[in-house]
Structure 1
Amino acid sequence: MSILKNISFLSSSDAVEANEYLTDALGTNPLLLTELDLSKVKLKDHNWEKLSAFLLDSCCIVEKIMLNKCEVTKKMCSVLATVLSKNKLLKEMDLNSSPLLDSGVKKICEGLKKSSLKILNLSDCSISEEGYKALASALRSNPSHLIELDLRGNDPGQSGVKELVEMQQRSSLKTLRFFQGPAEETYQYLIRVFKQNPLISKELNLNETKLDLEKVNQLAVLLQDKHFRINTLQLSKCDLTEESCSVLASVLSSDSSSLKELDLSNNNLQDSGVKQLWNGLKNNNCTLEKLNLSDCSISEEGYKALASALRSNLSHLIELDLRGNDPGQSGVKELTDLLEDRYTKLKTLRFLSPDAEKACKYVPGLVGKDPFLVRELNLRDQKLGDTNIKYLAALLQDKHCKLNTIQLLKCSITEEQCVILTSALKSNPSHLRELDLSENQIKNRAVNLLCDVLKDSHCKLETLRLRCCSLTDEGCSAVTSALKSNPSHLRELDLSQIKLGDSGVNNLFDLLKNPQSKLDKLHLCGCSITEEKCEILTSALKSNPSHLRELNLSQNQIRNTGVNLLCDLLKDSHCKLETLSLHDCGITDVSSLAQCLTDTKALQFLKELDLSNNNLEDSEKKLIDAMQDSTCNLKLKSEETAKSTGGWLRWFKS
């Protein structure tokens, strides 16, 4: 037997026993090792006492200890704390995947306060917020040694990350690992882009960053890591898609997400994207409080999906922004009904732009009213000014606005203001049914924009009044041309006191004879219509007479020729004209009209006939006789009217 076999360099019997045990378990004398991997060595509490003696012996040269996936006991943690505080050679300790819990970490932290350790790996050790706080406290007590700390796969709670990140700034700690794989890549990318640690802030602003699906997936992994506890995520103008929404829905559904506010504005998500988000919003894990979906090309179906999701999970969302989308017929109601639900926390629904909201506060006729219920706006004789015009335009172009009727008669609207209003109508033409811009100086520039509205296939305008609008022949021609291209909805047209040139009359001719035209009221008072132009118009009306109910040609010099042409129209059995105004038309003879009314069934329909301010001479009596048994109101003089009722003729003041 060799005498060297009994020689020992170790100072205690416990150290000797530990050395022998480890030599047997590892197949190598640990006195020769600088790295000691005990991950697969089964150590009971009494073994730990002996191991402590070995590791603290002056002959031990171990610099790194690995204890991965080990069964953790109080004794183990106490021994490690002792070794950390007394072994100045030990530089690295790896406890990955060993369930230390907070209690074990706190024990180890007692040793860290006096340790020379450089690297400590604690990934997947079931550590929570209290453990993080203990580590931060220990490192504050001994800030000069540890340079790397790995805490991946643990749960820092609300403040764990903050405690350590703040501590890192005042210590030698260079590497603080919280994230694994793709999450770490995304985290490092954010640091490079923003030149600061995103863990410091509760908000991540990625607005106008182009995010393809791969980047969205990487971001989602980071967002679902419990170390990345941001409350606000801004993704406006990021080119997000339906697939992006599906990924984000998984984030909202995650029990590890801390998101309270999400901004997805100005992305073309459409209804399909919103329906993907629906899967996240309805999940009980979703704690989102504010969601911005403004300008996301969402329509009625998307609104319904959101309402359904919020009914499924009423507990958190308090604010929803849907400005710049199109709710269709029922979208607004679907969501506003939720505000009445006593179980929901939803307090704020944003549909209108800031300027549109100001319209509801300052524009006369809107103040104090629900803008979503207002269908008619009468601002007659109101001097609105530039500011209110701007607010009104914002409301008109908002698709949440369902105004059907806008009356702006004599509002002192300038050409520039009219340009603003018509531009707004151009962006949202589908709801408007009646527009009255009479007696405003709209002129040709604004008319061109108005024509774009009239040509739009979405335009369903039924009544257009442009009386006394200072239009030139060119402007009038443009309007009639635009109406000609989209004739099927218009029911009433008032172009009174606007000079109709040849092109305007020809366009009007095309409009009136179009079988699609359903025009029943046509006001052309004071339009410089001559006998020749009257022939063109009546020719068109004869080709499509069945819809017209009211025709006003007053203050045009159509003379007797014009009356004869109108008689041809009245003779048509399809004509059902109820009101005919021929005031001040240079007419001297209505014999043909009297004969027409006697010979046809026109008086079955005609209710009002105005021939005032014409010098009818002897033919006047013929007309009165012809109308004696009718119920038609006959106006022959500006100051008096003849009315026939039940066969009796009566005169009364007009």
Structure 2
Amino acid sequence: MKRYFSNWDNWLFKNRSAEKSINLFHCLNELDDHSLVEEVQQYLQFDNLNQSTLSSSQWSAVIFVLLTSVDDLDEFVLQKYNRSDDVLLKLLPVVAKSRTADLSFCKLSKKSCVALASVLSSNSSSLRELDLNWNKLGDSGVKLLSAGLENPLCKLETLRLRGCNLTDEGCEPLASALKLNPSHLRVLELSENKIGDSGVKLLSAALESPLCKLETLWLWDCNITKEGCAALVSSLKSNPSHLRVLYLSNNKIGDSGVKLLSAVLENPLCKLETLSWSGLGSATLCAQRILYAVYIHIRLRHCSFSRLRDCNITDEGCAALTAALKSNPSHLRELYLPGNDKIKTGCELLFALQHDKLYRLEDLR
């Protein structure tokens, strides 16, 4: 029987599904025939698979080895094997059993999106983080992927689609998925896609729902103006309790967009902890300082320790810091401000608080 398996392995594995092939490897294992598996383990050990053309039986052995190794199922990285749609489809059972799948820079197309949607829709899938950065999926690919995202069985928490050639058209199925299945996705990365104001408006409509649990939204360099900023601010007012991190750098939101963001940050229900706004186009330095001052004011309500090294803070910023401490004197204990050479008299206000017994500030540098 062992010789039969050994001589006819290619015939046995030909045109069989991955699941059936894996079952055959279990049979081989019970018969103490480990030849194919050992061959693949050597390839895996030296990371040679990405340079190899494997037979169907060898690919089945790869799947078997990966599925029977607990350590390898924490994160699957497609680049270790081969960067193509065809290889991803072969290794789809491994993707489904992995908690994290790094498929970035792998030349994937919408062909892979159909398969990934099926993984996301599976009740047995372990996938929680999916990185598709820098694959030319386009709007049609994201539409196919969103069919899996909107499935109530989908438990994905992080989706990265940076530089995937999306436009506002691709935002529509994403927004629909967020509405239909709002309770799991926590991180959405859409940076360096030209989704524009219309795309942001679609996403903002989904963010307005109190059921939406999104905590981190990356919109770096997305062609957003004050119009898109207004939509985001509206969603933050409607649902202020979840979003913690918002990246808006390299968008031309201007002074009016900065002022809108400043207003929403003043809302005591707003939970934003990280806001990136560098490179806001026509926004004046004054407007950005206003936003920065309000942002620091909000951050200091909730923390006991703050480092603000080399942050271009001026006396105006120190005044905002002082106001924040006065409005909430019971938390901040340490405050470091090195490298802010534009501060002239502002530190005197802070030193005065340090010597006041009403405040808890113990260490000021």
Aligned: 1:650 with 2:346: no
CA distance in 2, matches of 1:378, 1:566: 38
Higher helix content, 1 or 2: 2
Partner residue in 1 for 2:77: 378
Distance 1:623 1:510, change over 3 A: same
Distance 1:501 1:584, change over 3 A: closer
Deviation at 1:536, TM superposition (A): 0.9
Partner residue in 1 for 2:165: 470
CA distance in 1, matches of 2:309, 2:217: 15
Deviation at 1:622, TM superposition (A): 2.0
Distance 1:571 1:429, change over 3 A: farther
CA distance in 2, matches of 1:403, 1:567: 41
Higher relative contact order (CA 8 A, sep 6+): 2
3-state SS, counterpart of residue 444 of structure 1: helix
Q: Is the 8 A contact 1:484 1:507 kept in 2?
A: no
Aligned residue type for 2:291: L
Gaps of 5+ in 1: 1-293, 296-319, 324-334, 340-344, 349-353, 632-643
Q: Is the 8 A contact 1:530 1:557 kept in 2?
A: yes
Q: Is the 8 A contact 1:581 1:611 kept in 2?
A: no
Structure showing greater Rg: 1
**What is the aligned counterpart of 2:250 among 547, 552, 555?**
555
RMSD of aligned C-alpha atoms?
4.2
CA distance in 1, matches of 2:280, 2:322: 24
Partner residue in 2 for 1:592: 290
3-state SS, counterpart of residue 580 of structure 1: strand
Distance 1:371 1:415, change over 3 A: farther
Partner residue in 2 for 1:603: 300
Deviation at 1:428, TM superposition (A): 5.9
3-state SS, counterpart of residue 73 of structure 2: coil
**What are the equivalent positions in structure 2 for 1:23-38 lying under 5 Å apart?**
none
Deviation at 1:510, TM superposition (A): 2.0
CA distance in 1, matches of 2:83, 2:215: 32
Aligned: 1:358 with 2:56: no
CA distance in 1, matches of 2:77, 2:263: 39
**What is the aligned counterpart of 2:107 among 407, 412, 420?**
412
Structure 1 length as normaliser, TM-score?
A: 0.38
Deviation at 1:560, TM superposition (A): 1.6
Aligned residue type for 1:446: G
Aligned residue type for 1:593: L
Deviation at 1:508, TM superposition (A): 1.2
Deviation digits for residues 117-166 of structure 1 (CA, Å, limit 9, x no counterpart) = xxxxxxxxxxxxxxxxxxxxxxxxxxxxxxxxxxxxxxxxxxxxxxxxxx
Paired residues, number: 287
Gaps of 5+ in 2: 1-18, 34-54, 326-331, 341-365
Distance 1:371 1:436, change over 3 A: same
Q: Is the 8 A contact 2:76 2:94 kept in 1?
A: no
CA distance in 1, matches of 2:184, 2:134: 24
Deviation at 1:359, TM superposition (A): 6.1
**What is the aligned counterpart of 2:136 among 441, 447, 450?**
441
CA distance in 2, matches of 1:622, 1:358: 63
Aligned residue type for 1:545: P
Q: Is the 8 A contact 1:377 1:406 kept in 2?
A: yes
Deviation at 1:544, TM superposition (A): 1.2
Aligned: 1:403 with 2:101: no
**What is the aligned counterpart of 2:320 among 623, 626, 630?**
626
Structure 2 length as normaliser, TM-score?
A: 0.65
Partner residue in 2 for 1:545: 240
Deviation at 1:421, TM superposition (A): 3.9
3-state SS, counterpart of residue 651 of structure 1: coil
Distance 1:489 1:597, change over 3 A: closer
CA distance in 2, matches of 1:369, 1:485: 35
Q: Is the 8 A contact 1:442 1:469 kept in 2?
A: yes
**What is the aligned counterpart of 2:204 among 509, 519, 534?**
509
Aligned: 1:431 with 2:132: no
CA distance in 1, matches of 2:177, 2:118: 16
Distance 1:605 1:519, change over 3 A: farther
Deviation at 1:584, TM superposition (A): 0.6
